[in-house]
Amino acid sequence: MEGNQHASQDQDLKRGIAEWQVAFIGLGGVIGSCYFLGVGWDIEVMGPGVFWAFLLVGVIVFGLMISYAELLVNLPRSGSFIAYTNEFLGPTVSTGFGWAFWFNWVCYVPSEAIAVSAALQAITGITSTVAYIAFAVGTMMALTLINCFAVDIFAKIESGLAITKVIIIIVFILLGLGIWVGFWGSPTGELTAYNITEGFKGVGVNFKPDVSLFDNWFPHGILIISVMMVVVLVTMQGTEIVGLAAAESKNPEVAVPKACRSVVYRIVALYLAPILLVILVYPTALADDATPVFAEVARDYGLTPFFYIFCAVVMVAAFSCGNTGFYGTVRAMYGLSTEGLAPKFLSKLSKNQAPRNAVFFTMAFMWVVLITGLIANVTGALNDLYGSLLSMSGFTGTLAWVGIIASQKRMRVRLKKNGYDPEKCLKARVKKGIAWVPWFAMIAQIICLILLAFSNVVERSYIAKMEAQGLESDVAVGDCGGGPVIFAVATSAVVIPMIVYWIMNKMGKVGHVVTLHGDEKTFEETFPPINKQ
């Protein structure tokens, strides 16, 4: 069977998300444990240049969101970004991108459950293996139950968790600003070795007057930053979840553009401001991913109560990001099914209009990954597993972003082919003055993906350079989270589904049926060729 079909009203996803909740759900997918723990890793490896890396990714996110808003408002879909890649890039490409996105979160959500367990151990002081496993399993069970309920239950829980994270980040901004200007905080511990004094910190503790401005910003070189960009990208991944939530919002035409704009502004503020303050008050050589860098700053400046607060927020962030990731993964699988790119039973909805089959299907694979991760932890391989998952998540998640922007570009090409002027017929369109941003975002991401394969080469080159100068490198092979093996595995997650789909299509085993919901229309129905009207 080929063509398009419209779902009945009880086959549509429930619209139970309020406008204000959409924006916070988008933030919830972004601010996870990777933000609080991973930023310390980024600062350690990149040095002060991490600020420019996050600024660049901020531009990429802006290009992504304005492209996504144009698609969501002018051609509404309930199948997430997969509906757009299927319609504008073709089913084979959409299959690869969609299943890779699903694989990305299926691996990443269990890692967040493990992060919650680690945070609970630190807070409670219970360090037994049994407790660690129990905390992780309990977290995964909670995530499963939340996503089995109606979407409005999910929205209330997730928006509340997101608000908590935003408040904590604002607290750190105020704390860091006070340390920088000298209102509070006395250097203690390892800070004393850096001769940091109380009072106003001026241009910051990482900028030495006898070193060039370039070397101050990039002490490890530009190449280290270039190969780490995928890890920075994964720190902001989850932004696209706002599009999934928009499909289930009560007023998507108003909520989507507003949410896309606000998410961009808030991400820039909530990422760049804290990172800049860390660079100004804390030596980058002391940062790591063992504890949140925000907590380390508070501890080493004698503000101990805030140390525990920032450690505790890792638990909230990990649970929130895992919760949002679970939601996004299930909706991605639902979208694949409605587009005819996954088994049809996965798009069947429950009585409360939730994609229950997709939840159970995804949950089963997540439990397998969680058990594997716990075994890896017991055998001492957890750190390698987490780093590998992070890089693979960055690769496959970035492809989703590339697919969104490419779909928006292809939509404009088809508009012109049908005789329309995109600048006149589109609502919430990308303005001419910033039309270059999506192009820049797409090209920059493709370059970052390619560079991931060469991270080990760059690391070895840097280490050799340091050794030649008689210095000890603070960057080891594998610190940048990439390498040819990770690149190959991540690429396979995209290519293998495409090959399977191609073979099944050639065998006539694929039914090209795209399910439309509610008032949704195909591109050709929405923008029919003018000369044929």
**Tens digit of pLDDT for each residue in 122-142?**
677 777 888 888 888 888 888
Q: What are phi and psi of 277, to 5 degrees?
A: -65, -40
pLDDT band per the 50, 70, 90 thresholds, residue 7: very low
Task: Name the most confidently modeled range: 252-256, 389-393, 414-418.
Answer: 414-418
* Nearest-10 crossing angle of helices 129-148, 91-124: 130
* Beta-ladder partners of 514: 4
User: Which string of b and e fits 221-231 if b means at least 16 CB within 10 Å?
Assistant: bebbbbbbbbb
Q: Rg for the chain (alpha carbons), in Å?
A: 23
The pLDDT assigned to 479 comes to 54
Query: Which has the higher per-residue pLDDT, 269 or 440?
Result: 440
DSSP 8-class letter at 37: I
What is the rounded CA–CA span in Å between residue 43 and residue 296?
Answer: 13
Task: Provide the phi-psi class of 386: left if phi over 0, else alpha when psi is between -120 and 50, else beta.
Answer: alpha
Is 505 a residue whose pLDDT tops 60?
yes
Is 181 a residue whose pLDDT tops 70?
yes
Contact 93, 85 (CB under 8 A): yes
pLDDT band per the 50, 70, 90 thresholds, residue 286: confident
Least confident window among 40-54, 73-87, 167-181, 242-256: 242-256
Is 202 a residue whose pLDDT tops 70?
yes
Helix (H, G, I), strand (E, B), or coil: what is residue 17? strand
State the Cα angle at 32 between 125 and 141, rounded to 5°: 65
Query: Which has the higher per-residue pLDDT, 147 or 378?
Result: 378
The pLDDT assigned to 443 comes to 92
Residue owning tokens 């807070």: 123
- For 318, what's the count of Cα atoms within 13 Å in the CB-facing half-sphere? 28
The pLDDT assigned to 452 comes to 73
Is 162 a residue whose pLDDT tops 80?
no
pLDDT band per the 50, 70, 90 thresholds, residue 16: very low
DSSP 8-class letter at 202: T
Tokens of 63: 């290009």
Kindly state the average pLDDT of the residues 11-25: 51
Q: What are phi and psi of 250, to 5 degrees?
A: -75, -25
The pLDDT assigned to 254 comes to 67
Task: Name the most confidently modeled range: 1-5, 76-80, 322-326, 480-484.
Answer: 322-326
Kindly state the average pLDDT of the residues 149-161: 61
Write down the H helix ranges in 182-292: 213-217, 222-236, 241-246, 252-281
Is 409 a residue whose pLDDT tops 90?
yes
**Tens digit of pLDDT for each residue in 307-342?**
888 878 777 777 777 777 777 777 778 777 777 777
What is the rounded CA–CA span in Å between residue 104 and residue 398?
Answer: 10
The pLDDT assigned to 412 comes to 92
Residue 388: name the closest of 371, 404, 369 by CA.
369
Least confident window among 81-95, 354-368, 454-468: 454-468
Contact 459, 479 (CB under 8 A): yes
The pLDDT assigned to 292 comes to 78
Kindly state the average pLDDT of the residues 379-402: 68
Q: What are phi and psi of 217, to 5 degrees?
A: -75, -40
The pLDDT assigned to 8 comes to 43
pLDDT band per the 50, 70, 90 thresholds, residue 512: low
Is 53 a residue whose pLDDT tops 80?
yes
Least confident window among 204-208, 238-242, 365-369, 505-509: 238-242
Residue 43: name the closest of 219, 234, 266, 215 by CA.
219
User: Which string of b and e fits 232-254 if b means at least 16 CB within 10 Å?
Assistant: bbbbbbbbbbbbbbbbbbeebee
Kindly state the average pLDDT of the residues 408-430: 87
Task: Name the most confidently modeled range: 94-108, 282-296, 437-451, 498-512.
Answer: 437-451
Is 429 a residue whose pLDDT tops 90?
no
Query: Which has the higher per-residue pLDDT, 522 or 278?
Result: 278
Contact 61, 232 (CB under 8 A): no
pLDDT band per the 50, 70, 90 thresholds, residue 157: low
Is 177 a residue whose pLDDT tops 60?
yes
Distances, alpha carbon 97 to alpha carbons 79, 322, 332, 360, in Å: 13, 20, 10, 21
Query: Which has the higher per-residue pLDDT, 193 or 519?
Result: 193
Is 40 a residue whose pLDDT tops 60?
yes
Q: What is the 3-state secondary structure (H, E, C) of 472-527?
A: CCCCCCCCCCCCHHHHHHHHHHHHHHHHHHHHHHHCCCCCCEEEECCCCCCHHHHC
The pLDDT assigned to 148 comes to 66
Query: For the chain, what's the residue count?
Result: 533
**Tens digit of pLDDT for each residue in 63-92?**
888 888 888 888 877 656 777 888 898 888
Q: Mean pLDDT over all residues of the chain?
A: 76
Is 210 a residue whose pLDDT tops 70?
yes
Distances, alpha carbon 499 to alpha carbons 292, 401, 491, 496, in Å: 41, 21, 12, 5
Least confident window among 36-45, 164-173, 190-199, 317-326: 317-326
Is 367 a residue whose pLDDT tops 80?
yes
The pLDDT assigned to 15 comes to 47
Tokens of 257: 């553009």
Residue ranges and CATH numbers for the domains of the chain are 3-522 (1.20.1740.10)
Q: Which amino acid is at 276?
A: L
Helix (H, G, I), strand (E, B), or coil: what is residue 184? coil
Contact 81, 334 (CB under 8 A): no
Q: What is the 3-state secondary structure (H, E, C) of 264-321?
A: HHHHHHHHHHHHHHHHHHCCHHHCCCCCCHHHHHHHHCCCHHHHHHHHHHHHHHHHHH
* Beta-ladder partners of 5: 515
